């Protein structure tokens, strides 16, 4: 590709930062709709913009090697050189020439050129505008004027003069031709002998009016000419003598048949457009400069809840706009009346007080003189769409919080594993009467409470292993009823309304009981003065429309538990946050803020949904949706616990957390096992390869650097298929696919784990 010479614009005298000026000049140069050429004084093209390249059709390689004579072949080299000298002498010039494009097309252009200094030398900065269409228009206009001049000379209207004796004193050739005669054969004859009887009678009346009143008249009438019915517009003007008396009437009649037809078509077209606008589902309105409504269709009136346009006619639209968006809306109106178009999303209040979200597109409406007379706006109600978007954002936020909570639980479980482990070892080594033993027991109790907290976090993040069974949802409610009666108190009435039909669902019964307990506890706290708690179970069918309206839910049959109270309720800003972990409206020390977040996580883990409706002073209603099924599933087999045993086998311990690794090694070694440590996944694979003849068991942390537990397991199966594997993790389910491991019959133990539980599991795996 030929190198195109670039002229730096920083040599020009510009204010401000040189780099910014160069960028600004370059942008103007490239984006100009007119062609721009930079020529040296010999007529060589040094630089060109995109418009020049586009208009002339030369590629950039071809363009870079052209001279001005290549695109201006209609001037001789002497003429071009003379023009160049003239520009150099005068400094600038303006003229019109013709350019030839690459495809041979001829273009008329208007050229403005001047000499400038760039990069230390004189060049021509030439702007040329394609005026081919203008030239063509001028040519067409001249031809049109000549045609109309010929028409005027030939008098294409019917021109006639009638005297007081009702005789035709003059008729032009065009009129005579319409009547099928020559002008000289008509002149001097009675009018009624020349024109058709129907037209003659109309003319007679109107002519008498002009002769009597002395005032002009304009009439439209139908008449027969050569057997064809046409519409004529006729102007009758009195002709006066020197005394001012009317002695004749000048008539000029024009055939307006096509105009009348066009008028009818225009009326039909207008009615057609009015019908379209009135039936348009979006709001169509015209707004004046002062913001007053000039027109609004039926959809718009329905949108703002007006019965008729008279309610809002000539009223300003501004009071309906939300104050937050009023300034922006007024700016949009000002911009449109300056010739711009614009889009805007805003809120407004209807005449009946309902809040709407609207998306509006506004353009200027111009009259025949190109004057902007109004703002035309087409507005769409996007209230439901905004609700769905907000629901999606809330769901995404809850997903992010859940992921974060799961990560915290994983790290916390590693810490608790070390605390519980070392405390358990210390407890075993202390005598029963040792006063320090109580302190150790307090440590273990607190650690167990911490473990329960991590399980709650995992429940919210949907990373807890569940033990689902096929149950009748009504049985869970009946079982919970007896427990809830005791915790509700005497001033709260409990009503349960189980469904008439069987509601079979696959759930972890314990977790569903926890959900109902959490909801009931919250309901109790919201009714300090007493009230009613209602738990109802029904079966329902969710369709695609439900999912679109509410922003969640797959089509299908669901068992629905409704938990309603008559308590204090909550405001909207509280309602949208109630499923966030640690968010609570209770006093410090009276709630962790995890109850509803746990309920949210459990429902999601069961492929269900939970939503809430509440208003201050009107109570709260939760709805729990669970997929309703009719097929049984296999439940996990719970093995009986095995005795606490020691061993002499060799175990590879792969754990990236040093605290957990040191504790686990200590527990295993004190129980007689030989322990080989690995700090990450790659180290584990290397150690197995090196000691595969000695190792009987590998304890694998599922989440490790370099290689995760699953990848290490696959490597071990290839190199040492006889070695047993025990997986462990602070996550009880996550990317490590714990459920997949369990379904394959592999061994897994979650953190935190006590030394006794660990040794029992190790012995179980080794003795299998």
Domain map (residue ranges) of the chain: 9-135, 155-260, 280-381, 387-459, 469-627, 650-766
pLDDT at 640: 40
pLDDT tens track for 368-380: 888 898 898 988 8
Same fold, 155-260 and 469-627: no
Give the model's confidence band at 13: pLDDT under 50 very low, under 70 low, under 90 confident, else very high: very low
Question: What radius of gyration do the chain's Cα atoms show?
Answer: 47
Share of the chain above pLDDT 70, in %: 81
Can you tell me the distance from the alpha carbon of 763 to that of 766, in angstroms, rounded to the nearest whole number? 5
CATH number for region 469-627 = 3.30.565.10
Can you tell me the distance from the alpha carbon of 654 to that of 697, in angstroms, rounded to the nearest whole number? 11
Q: Is the pLDDT of residue 668 over 80?
A: yes
Give the model's confidence band at 99: pLDDT under 50 very low, under 70 low, under 90 confident, else very high: confident
Q: Which residues contact 596 (CB under 8 A, 6 or more apart)?
A: 518, 519, 522, 578, 579
Average pLDDT over residues 443-449: 72
Residue pointed to by tokens 């009135």 = 278
pLDDT tens track for 114-151: 888 887 888 888 888 888 888 888 888 788 767 654 65
Residue pointed to by tokens 């290490």 = 712
Can you tell me the distance from the alpha carbon of 425 to that of 298, in angstroms, rounded to the nearest whole number? 81
DSSP 281: S
The answer to whether residues 747 and 726 touch, using CB atoms and an 8 Å cutoff, is yes
Number of H helices, E strands in the chain: 25, 27
Level-2 CATH architecture, domain 9-135 = 2-Layer Sandwich (3.30)
Residue 255 φ/ψ, nearest 5 degrees:
-75, 110
CATH number for region 155-260 = 3.30.450.20
| CB atoms inside a 10 Å sphere around CB 619 | 22
Can you tell me the distance from the alpha carbon of 660 to that of 113, in angstroms, rounded to the nearest whole number? 82
Structure tokens at 237: 């003007």
| Exposed/middle/buried for residue 136 (C-beta within 10 Å: 0-12, 13-18, 19+) | exposed
Q: Which residues contact 226 (CB under 8 A, 6 or more apart)?
A: 178, 179, 180
Q: What is the largest CA-CA distance in the chain?
A: 150
Q: Is the pLDDT of residue 41 over 60?
A: yes
| Exposed/middle/buried for residue 352 (C-beta within 10 Å: 0-12, 13-18, 19+) | exposed
Q: Does domain 650-766 have CATH number 1.20.1290.10?
A: no
pLDDT at 642: 39
pLDDT at 735: 38
* pLDDT averaged over every residue in the chain: 78
pLDDT tens track for 679-693: 888 888 888 888 888
**Facing residues of 296 across strands?**
285
Give the model's confidence band at 215: pLDDT under 50 very low, under 70 low, under 90 confident, else very high: very high
The answer to whether residues 28 and 53 touch, using CB atoms and an 8 Å cutoff, is no
pLDDT at 2: 36
Average pLDDT over residues 586-605: 62
Q: Is the pLDDT of residue 734 over 50?
A: no
Q: Which residues contact 199 (CB under 8 A, 6 or more apart)?
A: 221, 223, 224, 232
Average pLDDT over residues 389-413: 62
Q: Is the pLDDT of residue 413 over 60?
A: yes
Helix (H), strand (E), coil (C) string for 621-683: EEEEEEEECCCCCCCCCCCCCCCCCCCCCEEEEECCCHHHHHHHHHHHHHCCCEEEEECCHHH
pLDDT tens track for 603-639: 887 788 888 888 888 888 888 898 888 644 444 443 4
Highest mean pLDDT among 443-447, 456-460, 554-558: 554-558
Average the pLDDT over each of 16-20, 115-119, 753-757 and give the range with the smallest value.
16-20
Q: Is the pLDDT of residue 593 over 50?
A: no
Of 244 and 597, the structure prediction assigns the larger pLDDT to 244
Give the model's confidence band at 744: pLDDT under 50 very low, under 70 low, under 90 confident, else very high: low
Give the model's confidence band at 238: pLDDT under 50 very low, under 70 low, under 90 confident, else very high: very high
Produce one character per residue of 578-589: b if its CB has 16 or more CB atoms within 10 Å, e if not.
Answer: bbbbeebeeeee
pLDDT at 551: 55
CATH number for region 280-381 = 3.30.450.20
Can you tell me the distance from the alpha carbon of 223 to that of 78, in angstroms, rounded to the nearest whole number? 68
Produce one character per residue of 659-677: b if its CB has 16 or more CB atoms within 10 Å, e if not.
Answer: ebbbbbbebbeebebbbbb
Give the model's confidence band at 154: pLDDT under 50 very low, under 70 low, under 90 confident, else very high: low
pLDDT at 363: 92
CATH number for region 387-459 = 1.10.287.130
Give the model's confidence band at 462: pLDDT under 50 very low, under 70 low, under 90 confident, else very high: very low
Structure tokens at 133: 């269409």
∠ Cα 565 568 569 (to 5°): 75
Give the model's confidence band at 767: pLDDT under 50 very low, under 70 low, under 90 confident, else very high: confident
pLDDT tens track for 492-502: 888 888 888 88
| CB atoms inside a 10 Å sphere around CB 90 | 10
Which pTM does this prediction carry? 0.34
The answer to whether residues 736 and 702 touch, using CB atoms and an 8 Å cutoff, is yes
Give the model's confidence band at 200: pLDDT under 50 very low, under 70 low, under 90 confident, else very high: confident
pLDDT at 451: 66
Can you tell me the distance from the alpha carbon of 758 to that of 53, in angstroms, rounded to the nearest whole number? 78
Q: Is the pLDDT of residue 76 over 80?
A: yes
Q: Is the pLDDT of residue 199 over 80?
A: no
pLDDT at 22: 65
Average the pLDDT over each of 198-207, 359-368, 563-572, 734-743 and give the range with the smallest value.
734-743
The answer to whether residues 62 and 4 touch, using CB atoms and an 8 Å cutoff, is no
């Amino acid at each position: 590709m030929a190198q195109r010479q670039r002229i730096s614009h920083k040599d020009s005298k510009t204010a401000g930062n040189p780099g910014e000026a160069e960028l600004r000049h370059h942008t103007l140069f490239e984006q100009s709709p007119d062609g721009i050429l930079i020529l040296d004084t010999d007529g060589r093209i040094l630089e060109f913009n995109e418009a020049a390249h586009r208009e002339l059709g030369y590629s950039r390689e071809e363009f870079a090697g052209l001279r001005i004579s290549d695109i201006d072949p209609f001037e001789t080299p002497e003429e071009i050189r003379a023009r160049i000298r003239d520009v150099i002498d005068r400094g600038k010039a303006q003229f019109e020439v013709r350019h030839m494009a690459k495809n041979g097309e001829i273009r008329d252009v208007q050229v403005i050129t001047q000499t400038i200094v760039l990069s230390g030398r004189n060049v021509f900065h030439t702007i040329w505008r394609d005026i081919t269409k203008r030239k063509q228009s001028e040519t067409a206009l001249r031809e049109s004027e000549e045609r109309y001049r010929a028409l005027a000379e030939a008098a294409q209207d019917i021109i006639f003069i009638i005297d007081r004796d009702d005789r035709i004193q003059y008729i032009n050739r065009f009129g005579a031709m319409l009547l099928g005669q020559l002008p000289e054969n008509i002149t001097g004859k009675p009018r009624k002998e020349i024109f058709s009887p129907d037209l003659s009678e109309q003319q007679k009346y109107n002519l008498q009016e002009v002769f009597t009143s002395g005032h002009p008249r304009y009439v439209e009438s139908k008449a027969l000419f050569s057997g064809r019915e046409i519409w004529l517009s006729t102007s009758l003007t009195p002709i006066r003598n020197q005394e001012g008396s009317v002695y004749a009437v000048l008539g000029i009649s024009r055939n307006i048949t096509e105009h009348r037809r066009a008028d009818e078509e225009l009326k039909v077209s207008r009615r057609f457009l009015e019908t379209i606008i009135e039936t348009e589902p979006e709001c169509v309105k015209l707004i004046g400069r002062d913001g007053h409504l000039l027109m609004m269709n039926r959809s718009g009136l329905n949108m703002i809840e007006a019965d008729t346009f008279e309610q809002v006619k000539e009223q300003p639209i501004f009071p309906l706009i939300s104050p937050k968006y009023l300034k922006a809306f007024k700016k949009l109106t000002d911009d449109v009346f300056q010739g711009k178009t614009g889009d805007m999303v805003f809120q407004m209040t209807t005449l009946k007080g309902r809040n709407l979200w609207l998306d509006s597109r506004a353009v200027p409406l111009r009259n025949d003189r190109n004057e902007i007379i109004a703002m035309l706006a087409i507005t769409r109600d996007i209230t439901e769409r905004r609700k769905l978007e907000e629901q999606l954002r809330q769901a995404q936020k809850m997903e992010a919080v859940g992921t974060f909570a799961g990560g915290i639980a994983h790290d916390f479980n590693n810490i608790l594993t070390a605390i519980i482990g070392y405390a358990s070892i210390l407890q075993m080594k202390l005598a029963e009467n040792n006063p320090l033993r109580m302190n150790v027991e307090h440590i273990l109790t607190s650690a167990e409470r911490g473990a329960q907290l991590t399980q709650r976090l995992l429940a919210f993040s949907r990373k807890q292993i569940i033990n689902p069974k096929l149950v009748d949802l009504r049985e869970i409610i009946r079982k919970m009823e007896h427990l809830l009666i005791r915790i509700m108190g005497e001033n709260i009435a409990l009503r349960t309304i189980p469904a008439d039909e069987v509601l079979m669902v696959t759930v972890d019964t314990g977790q569903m009981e926890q959900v109902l307990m959490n909801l009931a506890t919250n309901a109790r706290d919201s009714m300090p003065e007493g009230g009613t708690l209602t738990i109802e179970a029904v079966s329902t069918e969710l369709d695609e429309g439900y999912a679109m309206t509410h922003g969640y839910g797959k089509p299908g049959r669901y068992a629905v538990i409704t938990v309603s109270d008559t308590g204090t309720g909550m405001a909207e800003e509280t309602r949208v946050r109630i499923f966030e972990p640690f968010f609570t409206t209770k006093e410090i020390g009276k709630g962790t803020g995890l109850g509803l977040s746990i309920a949210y996580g459990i429902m999601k883990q069961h492929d269900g949904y939970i939503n809430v409706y509440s208003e201050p002073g009107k109570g709260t209603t939760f709805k729990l949706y669970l997929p309703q099924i009719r097929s049984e599933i296999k439940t996990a087999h719970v093995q009986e616990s095995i005795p606490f045993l020691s061993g002499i086998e060799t175990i590879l311990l792969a754990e990236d957390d040093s605290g957990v690794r040191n504790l686990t090694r200590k527990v295993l070694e004190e129980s007689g096992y030989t322990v080989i440590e690995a700090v990450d996944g790659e180290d584990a694979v290397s150690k197995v390869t090196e000691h595969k003849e000695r190792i009987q068991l590998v304890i694998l942390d599922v989440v490790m650097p370099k290689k995760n537990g699953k990848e290490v397991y696959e490597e071990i199966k290839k190199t040492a298929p006889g070695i047993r594997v025990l997986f462990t993790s602070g996550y009880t389910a996550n990317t490590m696919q714990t459920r997949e491991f369990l379904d394959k019959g592999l061994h897994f133990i979650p953190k935190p784990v006590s030394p006794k539980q660990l040794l029992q599991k190790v012995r179980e795996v080794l003795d299998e």
